[in-house]
Every structure is written in C-alpha cells, then in structure tokens.
Amino acid sequence: MMISLIAQQPMLLVVWVTAILISLTAHEFSHAWMANIKGDKTAELAGRLTLNPFAHIDWMGVVFLLTLGFGWAKPVPFNPYNLQDPRRDSLLIALAGPASNLVIATIAALILRVMITGGFITGVDMLFAFLLLLVIINLFLMFFNLVPIYPLDGSKVLDALLVKPEHQKIKMQIMMYGPRVLLILVLLSIFTTFNIFFFVSAPSYAVCSALVGYNCSGLLGMIF
C-alpha cells in the first residue's frame, strides 16, 4: 500500500503523514503542557513542551500508524513528586493526550461536515482527504492510548485509580506483562488476517460517522 501510494498518489502520502505528525505532536504536547501547569517542569526541561513534531516523534510508531492504523510517539517524562496532587494530576496528565485527540477529531469532523453539506466539497480532493484522515487518525490514537496496557495512557489512568494496597499486585502485573501483551497483539495484527484491534477501529469509525454525518469507512474507501 505504501509503495503504491508513493508511486501513484505522492500528494496523498504527504497529506497522510502530515495528519499523523499533527496528531502525535498534539497528543504528546498536551501531556507536557498539563504536567507543566500542574507544577512539574520535567517535560519542559527535556524539550518536550513544544509543537515541534521532531521533539516527539518515534518513527517506528509513525510507520505502524501508517501501516496498521495505530501507533505512538516518544513518551513524555514527568515526575509525580513535583505535582501538587500526585494522584489527581497524574490522572489529568494521562488523559490530556487522548483529550487533545478528541478535540482535534471533533473540530476537523465538524469542518468536514459543514463543507460536505454546504457543497464546498463536491468530490475527493486533498482537503477532503486531510480532514477525514485527521478525524480518523485522532480517534484511533485516542482509543488505542486508552487501552489499559503499559505503557499506554490507559495504564496510567488505571494506575491513578488503583490506590489501595491490595491493588499493588495488579499494577505490578500490568507494568510487567503489558509490553509483552501489546507486542503479541501487534504481531497478530501483522501476521494474521484477524483484526485484533477491532476494539479500537470499531468505536473510531462509529464516532467518526456520528461526527461527520456520513459513513467514515465508506468515505475512506473513496480516498484509497
């Protein structure tokens, strides 16, 4: 698919990569921004409180997002001991990334909806492709990162909620086995035809369709 895009529709590939860079950058910047306003300067000192995509991008994560529909950027560091309320603020920092993706997806979807219904977009062009990809990529990132598997944001949300002593064993198991489970899921998605990440793609397309007012799976088929 990537090779055919480069050969046949190089501009579409540029639009696709641009949408990915915007989405990943906003996600990681939001983590850094939330940590900063909550009193922790670790991300700022590490050069992560910036909208420069090259400060955040993990290129392997970009490749996965291009080929499999889910991906990641470099995690933003923060020190919970610098936070005003470590439990609450850690939760807010974890949720800031997915929340930014939801905001971007909603704005892009509403713009796309208005342009389609208003007749400003009558066919498939690069603006149509950019807005649709921006919606879908951000929704995929949001739902994927909310999966409670370490090191995704969902595991940090779970960590902030599981505060009782008896929860420590569960948290340790999530940290220990999470990366292995994630790797197995990724490999299954690569080497089998079974969509192991249906719990990411299904709600992403459902929310996209609700926001745009049209079937997003069908719209995406018009692009590729």
Catalytic positions, written as ranges: 28
Q: How far apart are CA 43 and CA 7, in angstroms?
A: 39
Q: How far apart are CA 28 and CA 34, in angstroms?
A: 10
Question: Which of 92, 28, 18 minimizes the C-alpha distance to 55?
Answer: 28
Q: How far apart are CA 159 and CA 91, in angstroms?
A: 8
Question: Which of 89, 27, 97 minimizes the C-alpha distance to 55?
Answer: 27
Helix (H, G, I), strand (E, B) or coil at 68: helix
Contact 204, 175 (CB under 8 A): no
